[in-house]
Amino acid sequence: MRPVLIALASIAFVAILVFDWVVGLSFLPPTIVAGVVLLALIFENRRYKALLDASPGPGWQATGERFVDSESGKTVTVYFNPATGERRYVASAFD
């Protein structure tokens, strides 16, 4: 579904830009909205990390946070590395 949304947002963004150029009018708000949606779809995947199958290793601490991943239906445990501030998401063995 994500590739379809990226394609539609790209088409909308280009169509608005072409319309602006051909007609000579400025539709800045729709251009900005289409651009923001396109960028959000492209970079959204970088924010959410893939689930790991095992704990990340030494130096990582379980935070006590747990939630059910809506995509996989698995229970996820959150780990934190105090040295770097990085967080990792691990599918729990309790499923």
What confidence tens digit (pLDDT) does each residue in 18-76 have?
A: 887 788 777 777 778 888 888 887 777 655 667 888 888 899 999 999 998 877 788 99
Q: Please indicate, yes or no, whether residues 19 and 56 belong to a single structural domain of this protein.
A: no
CA atoms within 13 A on the CB side of 23: 9
**Residue 9: how many other CB atoms lie within 10 Å:** 20
Q: Please indicate, yes or no, whether residues 58 and 72 belong to a single structural domain of this protein.
A: yes
Q: Which of 68, 71, 13, 8 is nearest to 45 (CA)?
A: 71
Residue 94: predicted pLDDT: 60
CB 87 within 8 A of CB 80: yes
Domain count, the chain: 2
Structural domain that includes position 39: 2-47
Q: Please indicate, yes or no, whether residues 55 and 18 belong to a single structural domain of this protein.
A: no
Tokens representing 28? 């800045």
Q: Please indicate, yes or no, whether residues 37 and 61 belong to a single structural domain of this protein.
A: no
Name the maximum alpha-carbon separation found in the chain.
61
Q: Please give the model's pTM, rounded to 2 decimal places.
A: 0.49
